[in-house]
């Protein structure tokens, strides 16, 4: 099984000058792309390339159909009720900016409160900061406990009639914490608040059902789920999307344009101004098919066993501090007592061809909270192996030899 999955990713057979295979442990940044996805994209460009919704010739009609089929595949994947609820964007970041501008502009007023958490990626923080500054609204942050979980008691006390939005990540890209979004959404609804889930980190690892979560909005990026760069999704409940004004203006999003005044197209096109990333949507649909064929039960089982194995190995090293809860997604951030994360990542790369990431991982408030400037992070995908984790551990030993005190 693992062997046939790895075969889909030729990059995993590439070797460095020392003859070591790539151990790619930076999947939280972006995943590698399987051959089926790459082939579908190049096939689209070779055989079906035309702009959507515009031509009456067959090629354009085919392209439109392919694009809309991709939308339906996304709809089924997250179990959205209607196809119009799936809006294509350039990625999670654009999805959140769309939301902050199109929804936030009309729904957030002075003294309103927006609840976020202390573990947000900058892309689910900065757009809300700007909105809050503009409107005179207030940001509140659900604190994290010592073991890296959201403090639910504090959250429940934060909620009030002033709460207009609760926006949070499903899975922390640093701590690996899996947040209980069903519970959080349910509590927010009691106060009539709108809810947004940033699923960028969970979409490739956990099955998502937007009707079950019952959130109003949810976003993710294709490139973190074995799909291409430059494409993302914003899911929104139809009745809310219908009331929102467009976010960008131009072609395709309009119904009628006069010199002085225009009216807007139906959902989802109202939010898809200009030519879309059609090949990207094809790639995403293929990536979804790829994930579905493996199945989330298998994916979770494999990734959980990798996380568990890595946690066990890392915690045996007395010089290493791991951040976050013991039960977690496939993300582990840690620091070393006497090796700076950047030096560690550089040596892991040079000595073992193990790709890890070091820094604040676009979550500076979180880094401050846990009291570190930077951490070294490993994050797993469906193709990773225990042997790669053994090489991670060997690389850490090499680094310790270089930096021994």
Ligand X SMILES: Cc1ncc(COP(=O)(O)O)c(C=O)c1O
Residues belonging to the active site: 362
Binding mask 351-380 for other proteins (x = CB under 8 A): x------xxx------x-----xx------
Please tell me whether residue 179 adopts helix, strand or coil conformation: coil
**Smallest gap, in angstroms, from Cβ of residue 364 to ligand X?**
13
Which of 306/362 has CB closer to ligand X?
362
Kindly report the number of other CB atoms within 10 A of residue 254's CB atom.
Answer: 16
Decide: is 172 part of the binding site for other proteins (CB under 8 A): no
Q: Which of 278, 347, 366, 396 touches other proteins by CB under 8 A? A: 347
Bridge partners of 50, per DSSP, are none
Binding partner at 402 among other proteins, ligand X, none, C-beta below 5 to 8 Å by kind = other proteins
The CB-of-148 to other proteins minimum distance in angstroms stands at: 19
Closest CA to 307 of 276, 337, 332: 332
Number of residues that bind ligand X (CB under 6 A): 13
- Could you tell me the smallest distance in angstroms from the CB atom of residue 309 to other proteins? 27
Q: CA-to-CA distance for 323 and 170, rounded, in angstroms?
A: 17
- Residue 172-191 contact track with ligand X, rule CB under 6 A, x = bound: -x------------------
Task: Give yes or no for residue 83 binding other proteins (CB under 8 A).
Answer: no
The number of C-alpha atoms within 13 Å of 298 and in the hemisphere containing its C-beta is: 11
What distance in Å separates the CA atoms of residue 83 and residue 71, rounded to the nearest whole number?
7
Token readout for 20 is: 């070591």
Q: DSSP string spanning 110-139?
A: TT-EEEEETT--GGGTHHHHHHHHHHT-EE
Q: With beta carbons less than 8 A apart as the criterion, state whether 222 and 74 touch.
A: no
User: Which tokens go with 359?
Assistant: 């820094």
The reply to whether 198 sits near ligand X by the rule CB under 6 A is yes
Of 230 and 251, the one with the shorter C-beta distance to ligand X is 230
Q: How many Å apart are CA 38 and CA 9, to the nearest integer?
A: 10
Q: Compare residues 126 and 350 and give the one whose CB is closer to other proteins.
A: 350
**207 vs 350, which CB is nearer to other proteins?**
350
Cα separation values, 330 from 195, 310, 380, Å: 25, 10, 5
Q: Is the Cβ of residue 68 or residue 343 nearer to other proteins in the bound state? A: 343
Of the candidate residues 38, 126, 350, 355, the single one contacting other proteins (CB under 8 A)? 350
Q: Cβ(206)–Cβ(170) under 8 Å?
A: yes
Give the pair of three-digit tokens for residue 277. 């990333």
Tabulate helix, strand, coil % of the chain (nearest 5): 45, 20, 35
Binding mask 82-121 for ligand X (x = CB under 6 A): ---------xxx---------------------------x
Q: Of these partners, other proteins, ligand X, none, which one is at the site of residue 124 (CB under 5 to 8 Å by kind)? A: ligand X
Q: Which residues bind other proteins (CB under 8 A)?
A: 340-343, 346-347, 350-351, 358-360, 367, 373-374, 402-403, 405
- Interface residues with ligand X (CB under 6 A)? 91-93, 121, 123-124, 169, 173, 198, 200-201, 221, 362
């Amino acid at each position: 099984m693992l062997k046939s999955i790895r075969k889909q990713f030729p990059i995993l057979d590439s070797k460095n000058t020392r003859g070591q295979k790539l151990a790619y442990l930076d999947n939280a940044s972006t995943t590698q792309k399987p051959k089926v996805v790459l082939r579908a994209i190049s096939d689209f460009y070779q055989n079906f390339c035309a702009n959507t919704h515009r031509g009456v010739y067959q090629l354009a009609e085919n392209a439109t159909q392919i694009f809309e089929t991709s939308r339906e595949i996304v709809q089924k994947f997250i179990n959205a009720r209607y196809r119009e609820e799936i809006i294509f964007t350039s990625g999670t970041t654009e999805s959140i900016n769309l939301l902050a501008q199109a929804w936030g502009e009309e729904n957030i007023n002075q003294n309103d409160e927006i609840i976020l958490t202390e573990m947000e990626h900058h892309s689910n923080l900065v757009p809300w900061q700007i909105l809050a500054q503009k409107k005179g609204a207030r940001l509140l942050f659900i604190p994290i406990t010592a073991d890296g979980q959201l403090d639910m008691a504090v959250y429940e006390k934060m909620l009030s009639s002033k709460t207009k939005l609760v926006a949070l990540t499903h899975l922390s890209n640093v701590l690996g914490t899996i947040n209980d979004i069903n519970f959080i959404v349910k509590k927010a609804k009691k106060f009539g608040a709108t809810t947004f889930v940033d699923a960028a980190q969970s979409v490739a690892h956990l099955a998502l059902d937007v009707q079950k979560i019952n959130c109003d909005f949810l976003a993710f990026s294709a490139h973190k789920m074995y799909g291409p760069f430059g494409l993302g999704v914003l899911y929104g409940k139809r009745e809310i999307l219908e009331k929102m004004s467009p976010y960008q203006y131009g072609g395709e999003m309009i119904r009628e344009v006069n010199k002085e005044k225009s009216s807007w197209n139906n959902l989802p096109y109202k939010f898809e101004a200009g030519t879309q990333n059609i090949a990207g949507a094809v790639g995403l649909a293929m990536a979804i098919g790829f994930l579905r064929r493996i199945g989330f039960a298998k994916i979770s089982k494999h990734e959980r066993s990798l996380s568990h194995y890595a946690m066990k190995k890392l915690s045996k090293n007395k010089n290493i501090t791991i951040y976050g809860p013991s039960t977690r997604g496939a993300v582990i951030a840690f620091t070393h007592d006497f090796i700076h994360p950047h030096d560690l990542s550089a040596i892991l790369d040079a000595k073992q061809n193990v790709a890890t990431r070091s820094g604040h991982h676009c979550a500076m408030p979180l880094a401050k909270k846990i009291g570190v400037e930077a951490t070294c992070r490993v994050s797993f995908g469906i193709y990773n192996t225990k042997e790669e984790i053994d090489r991670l551990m060997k690389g850490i030993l090499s680094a310790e030899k270089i930096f021994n005190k």
